[in-house]
Amino acid sequence: MESYVKLSRKLTAWKYRTSLPAFSIWVELILCASHTTYKSGTWTLERGQYKGSNRQIAIKTGVNRKAVNKWIKIFEEEEMIRTFTLPNNQGTIYTILKYDEYQNKGTGAKKGTNLAPHGAAHNNVTIGENFSDKKSRPKTREIDW
C-alpha cells in the first residue's frame, strides 16, 4: 500500500511523548484509520475511523492489553478519540477527532498542519508554495519553533 499519514514534530511537545506505550498506540491508531469512507457488510467506516479492538492494538504494538485499555481511556478523556463498541463482539470503532483537520482535508485544514495529539504545541510554519512544474517548485520545509 502506497499511502502515508502526516506526523508532526509537535509530537515532541505532547505530554505523553515519553511514554512508549502511549506513543505506539497513538501512532497505530493514526496508521490504521481509514483515509476514505469504507463500506463492508453492515457497517461503514468514515474517514479517520478504525475498526478493531484493544486486543488487536495490543498485538500490533506489543503493548500489553491492560496498558492499551488504560491509554485508550486516557485518549478518550483527553478528547483525542471517541470509541463505539459494536454489538455481538464485532469490535470497536475508534474515531480520531480532528483527523480531517490535521490530514489536510475538510474545513479548517491548512497547508502545513500535521496530525499531533490534542494539546500539543502548534508552531509549525510552512515555507513555499505549490507549483505544478517540479523544476520551478521551491523547497518546502517545516520549521518547529
122 contacts 102 by C-beta, under 8 angstroms = no
Query: Could you tell me which residues are beta bridge partners of residue 126?
Result: 142
- At residue 3, the pLDDT reads 77
d(CA 18, CA 61): 16
Q: Tell me the β-bridge partners of 80.
A: none
CATH tag for 15-111 (out of 1.10.240.10, 3.20.10.10, 3.30.70.3270, 1.10.10.10): 1.10.10.10
pTM over 0.85: no
The tens digit of pLDDT for each residue in 96-111 reads 998 987 787 644 434 4
Cβ neighbours of residue 26 under 8 Å, at least 6 residues apart?
16, 71, 75, 80, 117
**Mean pLDDT of all residues in the chain?**
77
Res 38: pLDDT: 86
Q: How many CB atoms lie within 10 A of CB 145?
A: 7
pLDDT tens by residue, 111-137: 433 445 554 433 332 333 333 444 444
Domain ranges of the chain: 15-111
Other CB atoms within a 10 A radius of the CB of residue 105 amount to 13
Q: What is the pLDDT of residue 129?
A: 37
Which pLDDT score, from 0 to 100, does residue 110 have?
A: 42
